[in-house]
């Protein structure tokens, strides 16, 4: 049976009252697939979101983390700090982190290791730019990210990583990734990791689509064989939209 994860990435949005109101509204929807849903909140909101989710199977987590347990890293947050809050998931290597904050495949790899050691599920983001896509190098580029990011991870750990494909070339460019293009890259990602590890590991992976999934296109995307859910940006900020996407997954 196909598994799903619908993950809401709030990015740098919402304040405490709004976040807790959102969680109350989401819980009121009585989603049949709560365990397949999670919310990735800004650091300041994580504790409140976790408290508002008590008694629910909905997961919650962070959008970034530092790979060291402690130290002189002003402004950073460590895995033990997040673990103390009870988080279930954490985004690693989001395209915005890579572009604006100099995230590299080396730091991504170290963050993956730290999260896995703590029993927290990483959501690893990979994806190519418009320049790379137009040059026909998208598969080479994404394969390179995957190989570097998973470097040194045994198959048992690799199978615990959720992967989110972000078509950076279709975000804010006026171009649109079709469901067929999304499926093609998600299938390619599965194939790369099947080659690095084995078919059983590749087949077990949850691979999400991170390119503007909305209520209107969710079902068509989620029906694709290699798409196991979505890393949802804008649509995760509205209860009705986010719940509709979760319900689309639950219907399949």
**Per-residue pLDDT, 175:** 77
Whether 166 is catalytic is yes
Of the candidates 181, 189, 179, the residue with the CA atom closest to the CA atom of residue 218: 179
pTM, two decimals, is: 0.97
Two tokens at 128?
Answer: 């190519």
From first to last of its 252 residues, the chain has per-residue pLDDT tens of: 899 999 999 999 999 999 999 999 999 999 999 999 999 999 999 999 999 999 999 999 999 999 999 999 999 999 999 999 999 999 999 999 999 999 999 999 999 999 999 999 999 999 999 999 999 999 999 999 999 999 999 999 999 999 999 999 988 776 778 999 999 999 999 999 999 999 999 999 999 999 889 999 999 999 999 999 999 999 999 999 999 999 999 999
For Cα atoms 171, 7, 49, give the angle at the middle one, nearest 5 degrees: 120
Determine the Cα–Cα distance for residues 232 and 242; give it in Å rounded to an integer: 8
Instruction: Quickly tell me which residue has 């290791």 as its tokens.
Output: 113
DSSP-assigned letters across all residues of 191-231? HHHHHHS-HHHHHH--EEE-S---TTTHHHHHTSTT--EEE
Question: Of the listed 34, 103, 128, 166, which one is catalytic?
Answer: 166
Number of DSSP helices (H) and strands (E) in the chain, helices first: 12, 8
HSE-CB at 63 with a 13 A cutoff on CA atoms is: 22
The conformation of residue 67, written as its DSSP 8-state character, comes to: S
Instruction: Report CA-CA distances (Å) from 202 to 23, 136, 154.
Output: 33, 24, 13
Which secondary-structure segment (H or E) carries 82?
helix 79-84
Determine the Cα–Cα distance for residues 239 and 29; give it in Å rounded to an integer: 9
**Per-residue pLDDT, 48:** 98
Please classify residue 38 by burial: count the beta carbons closer than 10 Å to its beta carbon, then call 0-12 exposed, 13-18 middle and 19+ buried. buried
Residues 6+ apart with CB under 8 A from 28: none
Sign of CA dihedral 155, 157, 162, 164: negative
HSE-CB at 123 with a 13 A cutoff on CA atoms is: 34
The conformation of residue 99, written as its DSSP 8-state character, comes to: H
Question: Of the listed 94, 96, 128, 183, which one is catalytic?
Answer: 94
In words, the CATH class of domain 5-250 is alpha beta
Determine the Cα–Cα distance for residues 102 and 114; give it in Å rounded to an integer: 19
Whether 17 is catalytic is no
Instruction: Report CA-CA distances (Å) from 61 to 42, 151, 185, 190.
Output: 9, 24, 26, 25
């Amino acid at each position: 049976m196909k598994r799903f994860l619908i993950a809401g990435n709030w990015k740098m949005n919402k304040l405490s009252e709004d976040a807790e109101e959102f969680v109350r509204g989401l819980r009121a929807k009585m989603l049949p697939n709560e365990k397949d849903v999670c919310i990735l909140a800004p650091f300041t909101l994580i504790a409140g979101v976790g408290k508002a989710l008590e008694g629910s199977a909905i997961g919650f987590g962070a959008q970034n983390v530092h790979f060291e347990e402690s130290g002189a890293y002003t402004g950073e947050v460590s895995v033990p700090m997040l673990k103390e809050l009870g988080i279930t998931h954490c985004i690693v290597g989001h395209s915005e982190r890579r572009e604006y904050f100099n995230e590299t495949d080396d730091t991504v790899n170290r963050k993956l290791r730290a999260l896995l050691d703590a029993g927290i599920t990483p959501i690893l983001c990979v994806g190519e730019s418009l320049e790379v896509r137009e040059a026909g190098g998208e598969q080479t580029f994404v394969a390179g990210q995957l190989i570097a990011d998973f470097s040194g991870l045994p198959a048992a750990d690799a199978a615990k990583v959720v992967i989110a494909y972000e078509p950076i070339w279709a975000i804010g460019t006026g171009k649109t990734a079709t469901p067929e293009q999304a499926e093609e890259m998600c299938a390619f990602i599965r194939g790369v990791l099947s080659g690095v590890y084995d078919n059983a590991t590749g087949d077990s992976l949850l691979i999400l689509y991170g390119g503007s999934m909305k209520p209107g296109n969710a079902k068509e995307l989620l029906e694709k064989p290699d798409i196991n859910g979505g890393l949802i940006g804008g649509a995760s900020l509205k209860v009705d939209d986010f719940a509709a996407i979760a319900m689309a997954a639950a219907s399949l």
